[in-house]
Amino acid sequence: MHFLVKLPVLRASFEATGSARWLMQTIVRLALDRRNGFQLDLALSDDRVKGTLQATEARLSAGEVDFIDTDWLSIARCRRTGLKITGAVPYGAIFGGLVAPVSSQIHTLGDLPGKTIGVVRRLDKNWLLLRASCRAMQGFDPEQVCDLVEVGSKSVLRERLCSGDLDAALLFWHQIPLLVSDGEFREVCDLTHLLPGQGGGDVPSTFFVFRDELVETKPELIGGFAAALRAAYQLLYEDAIAWQEASGCLGSEWRVLRSKWLSRVRLNWRLGMREDLTKLTNYLRASHVGAEFNSLPEGTLSASFLK
């Protein structure tokens, strides 16, 4: 029936270099959007930071799209500036890793003082978590003892690491398996390993984000998206071949990449998620990584309409 009627459109923007597009493209390819009462209009953006916003965040702010994916700290920052957006559907614990050349003297976090570290931006959750963890476990703040280089793009960050400009870099998780597969680089630390023991648990860091108005006026539309998303995830979870096709990863590193994907993607709300995310926020605050993390603004997360 949905194929015979005009369906409401959900406009989405995702980074062409990101991993969330794997699920979005699966939804479109299998018409899971139409089966769940909407049409997904998917646009791919670059991965550069524009001012204080990522490219996709800028498009959502401008009203060009209806939803994107971003982390809870970015949602909170946007709400503090008056942009009424909310995390409506969980995506997962989308943290990256610290990568260094195999010839580097960086083997543990304790080896970071005095080194040049590359990041996309200072506000990136990967850098904030690394700072908090080093303060708690190593007794130093990388912001104070390392030479930090901000590059504004995950693609450029990888290029700078490969060119030898950096001693190490905080890469996004899906960049890492291919880079380390040739034996020239190693992953010093998977940042998800820094989460247990400080209250974060398995709480998602990243959400599919909509404007408050859309959540309030068309909850059934977002519920349809959530259903399509779960169907796409179930296929990629159960079928490794379908996952390879969606990710475009056909090389020998695909098993490592898939393992990282499986360990990170968590689509369901669960009891205590808000509290766990608040604990993680407090962990960053307690480590004095930024006064802007005093609290999560009301409306940062919105789970009321999801089952």
* Inter-CA distances, 131 with 237, 243, 291, Å: 33, 33, 14
CB within 8 A of 269, min separation 6: which ones?
Answer: 90, 303, 306
Yes or no: say if 176 and 191 are a contact pair by the CB < 8 Å rule. no
The pLDDT value recorded for residue 7 is 95
Q: Taking the mean position of all CA atoms in its chain, how far away is CA 283?
A: 19
- Number of neighbours of residue 79 by Cβ within 10 angstroms: 18
- Number of neighbours of residue 145 by Cβ within 10 angstroms: 13
Yes or no: say if 69 and 91 are a contact pair by the CB < 8 Å rule. yes
Section 111-117 average pLDDT: 98
- % of the chain at pLDDT higher than 70: 92
pLDDT in tens, 231-252: 999 999 999 999 999 999 988 8
- Tell me the H-state helices in 89-164: 125-137, 142-145, 154-162
Yes or no: say if 125 and 73 are a contact pair by the CB < 8 Å rule. yes
Yes or no: say if 204 and 266 are a contact pair by the CB < 8 Å rule. yes
- % of the chain at pLDDT higher than 90: 72
Separation CA 116–CA 223 (nearest Å): 45
Separation CA 307–CA 34 (nearest Å): 20
Yes or no: say if 207 and 72 are a contact pair by the CB < 8 Å rule. yes
Q: b/e per residue, 165-193, with b = 16+ CB within 10 A?
A: ebbbbbbbbbbbbbbbeeeebbbbbbbbe
Structural domains of the chain, with CATH: 9-92+204-293 (3.40.190.10), 97-194 (3.40.190.10)
pLDDT range class, residue 287, cuts 50, 70, 90: low
pLDDT range class, residue 294, cuts 50, 70, 90: low
pLDDT range class, residue 5, cuts 50, 70, 90: confident
The pLDDT value recorded for residue 304 is 60
Q: Record the tokens describing residue 170, joined without a space.
A: 């905080």
pLDDT in tens, 115-133: 999 999 988 999 999 999 9
Average pLDDT, the chain: 90
Separation CA 161–CA 171 (nearest Å): 9
The pLDDT value recorded for residue 4 is 62
Sign of CA pseudo-dihedral 56, 23, 267, 263: negative
- Number of neighbours of residue 6 by Cβ within 10 angstroms: 7
* Inter-CA distances, 125 with 63, 71, 97, Å: 25, 8, 11
* Inter-CA distances, 23 with 180, 190, 209, Å: 25, 23, 15
Select the more confidently predicted residue: 49 or 91: 91
Give first-to-last CA distance, the chain, whole Å. 24
The pLDDT value recorded for residue 241 is 95
- Number of neighbours of residue 59 by Cβ within 10 angstroms: 19
pLDDT in tens, 167-215: 999 999 999 999 999 899 999 999 999 986 544 457 889 999 999 999 9
Yes or no: say if 161 and 240 are a contact pair by the CB < 8 Å rule. no
Section 25-51 average pLDDT: 93
For 15: left if phi > 0, alpha if psi spans -120 to 50, otherwise beta; the answer is beta
Write the DSSP symbol of residue 211: E
The pLDDT value recorded for residue 303 is 67
Tell me, what amino acid is at 231? Answer: A
Q: Please give the backbone phi and psi of residue 216, each rounded to the nearest 5 degrees, phi first.
A: -75, -35
